[in-house]
Amino acid sequence: MATELTLTTKDFKSDQEVRWCPGCGDYAILAAVQSFLPELGIPREDIVFVSGIGCSSRFPYYLNTYGMHSIHGRAPAIATGLASSRPELSVWVVTGDGDALSIGGNHLIHALRRNVNLKILLFNNRIYGLTKGQYSPTSEVGKITKSTPMGSLDAPFNPLSLAIGAEASFVARTIDSDRKHLQSVLRAAAEHEGSALVEIYQNCNIFNDGAFDALKDPSTRDRALIPLQHGEPIRFAGDQGVFRAEDGTLFVDAVTERNEDRVLVHDAHAADPTTAFALTRLADPDTLHHTPIGVLRDVRRPAYDRLMTEQLDLAVQRQGAGDLSRLLAGGDTWVVG
């Protein structure tokens, strides 16, 4: 079936006018997703995008698939019901740092631990955009915003650390402006069975412009970004590499002939999450230096939807297909008349 499909980017564009601010990073992500979806080989009608509330959550309106723009923070819960009752669908969640990590934090962690077959795209711009510029759960400490004129006091979440702590089986990070990388991560997420959390650094040019410039500016990005490739030594900026210290923590150092064989080889499939977690802690939350991008973790674990379906099948095997009359007439009964 799938090979006969000849869908193009255009097929995934809805007839609705896109209404983000000019220059918003969401445009780039939308374009990347629209041009990526055809390669899934999945018919449009079998794809569903579910979102919560926030700028990013308008996303489903612009895709010519099935879609639901729901309520703040609840998209993972709604998508869980859909995915687990319709395992054959390809269900995607689009959310933001406020939607996923603040009001919806509970649903996000539980979707991840259950390993529901959802692809969760978390647009992280480190600010509240739709409510016009308050700090978010990923904003750096001391952030001056409308609601924090003297600087925010909250320590930020590290979304990928949180996801790994929540037993996520797939964790990745990418950047709105790097379409090729973004699509490579989407591809890996789509191929993964179970929950996939993809953090996408996304620029809000109105309320938090330049938040990720360190990772985009040609003069700084090489030394700030650490691209991850499964099975490859983690090296960047020509001579830089990631090493493991004796206490297990990771650090960055210059690679020399003497230490070259000790550069950490990235293993996204490692069952133990320790190294993946350590990678999430490598970046400096303020300067974003040493930010790994790519797939940090991708391990096999049975998807919730499949397990649920298997239980239904097993129940039929054990008890036989449900017989309504027999169910209702079960237990002690007596006859009148």
List of residues contacting other proteins (CB under 8 A): 14, 16, 43-48, 50, 60-61, 63-71, 74, 77-86, 88-89, 106-107, 110, 308, 311-312, 314-316, 318-322, 324-325, 327-337
- Of residues 47 and 299, the one with the C-beta less far from other proteins: 47
Q: State the nearest-atom distance from the C-beta of 336 to other proteins, in Å.
A: 4
Which of 219, 228, 224, 215 has its CA nearest to residue 178?
215
Residue with tokens 């009359």, as numbered in its chain: 325
- Of residues 65 and 208, the one with the C-beta less far from other proteins: 65
Q: State the nearest-atom distance from the C-beta of 19 to other proteins, in Å.
A: 9
Q: State the nearest-atom distance from the C-beta of 111 to other proteins, in Å.
A: 9
DSSP symbols for 4-73: G----GGGGB-SSPP-SPTT-HHHHHHHHHHHHGGGG---GGGEEEEE-SSSGGGGGGGBSSEEEE--TT
Q: State the nearest-atom distance from the C-beta of 141 to other proteins, in Å.
A: 29
- Of residues 19 and 146, the one with the C-beta less far from other proteins: 19
Amino acid found at 171: V
Tell me how far apart the alpha carbons of residues 260 and 256 are, in angstroms, rounded to a whole number.
Answer: 6
Supply the DSSP symbol for 79: H
Which of 210, 196, 192, 143 has its CA nearest to residue 166?
196
- Of residues 149 and 337, the one with the C-beta less far from other proteins: 337
Q: Are strands 196-201 and 225-227 parallel, antiparallel or unpaired?
A: unpaired
Q: State the nearest-atom distance from the C-beta of 53 to other proteins, in Å.
A: 8
- Of residues 69 and 230, the one with the C-beta less far from other proteins: 69
Q: State the nearest-atom distance from the C-beta of 99 to other proteins, in Å.
A: 13
Which of 214, 179, 217 has its CA nearest to residue 290?
214
- Of residues 48 and 185, the one with the C-beta less far from other proteins: 48
